Every structure is written in structure tokens, then in C-alpha cells.
Amino acid sequence: QVQLVESGGGLVQSGGSLRLSCASSGRSFSNYAMGWFRRAPEKEREFVAAISRSGGYTSYTDSVKGRFTISRDNFENAVYLQMNSLKPEDTGVYYCAAKLNNRDDYFTSPRDYTYWGQGTQVTVSS
């Protein structure tokens, strides 16, 4: 079935940038809405960003608006999260998620997603 492989996490200083990538092994990547979620230490998993299957519609949690950008390349079967102006509170494990959809919707609840990546650690030092 669909497998999501993430990369790009690491250690960065406050104010720096990271670009996370999520490659999908799915046969019909363009039919999946995609999302990014994160779990900070001792906190619950939270929504970060989502993108519709065409890439035409996106959504962000308020705390990352203007700093993070989600994008996708359906030819490369990949979704990306460009993170700029990183803050220590952005620290956490970031997860890529996919949901099969036959409409051009996006989803912001983890309960909506069927497939998940392994998670990649992002650490922002102060």
C-alpha cells in the first residue's frame, strides 16, 4: 500500500530554515490530499499544514502562517514543507500524512488521514 518516506529534519538555530520532504510510493499520488502534523515534546499531535490533491487549496495552523509553506509535485510524487523563521516552539517530530480523496479537498484533522510517515525530528535551538 501507500508508503510515505520523510526527510529533511535536523537541528537548526532560531530564525533558520528547513525544508521537509515526503516521498510517496502510491500509484495514484495525485488522488491524495496531503498534510503535515507535528508533536512537540510532552504535547499532543497538532495540525500544521494541508494541501489538496491538485495543490490548488492549502491550509495552515495560525502559529505557522506566513512562515511555513506546503507544496506538492505530483510528477515527483512528493509533498514538501518549507519552514522559515523557525522558533524553538516549532521543535517536534513532524509527520507526513495522506488521504485518498476523489474531490479537491484538504483536511486538518489527523483523524481524516489514512497513511502516515515515520516522522522526522526538527529541533530549533534558542
pLDDT attached to residue 1: 78
Task: Copy the grid coordinates of residue 100.
Answer: 485518498
Distance CA 89, CA 84 (A): 13
pLDDT in tens, the chain (126 residues): 789 999 999 999 999 999 999 999 978 899 999 999 999 989 999 999 999 999 999 999 999 999 999 999 999 999 999 999 999 999 999 999 999 999 999 999 999 999 999 999 999 999
Pairing of strands 78-83, 58-60: unpaired
pLDDT at 32: 96
**CA 90/CA 102 separation, integer angstroms:** 32
63 CB neighbour count, 10 Å cutoff: 12
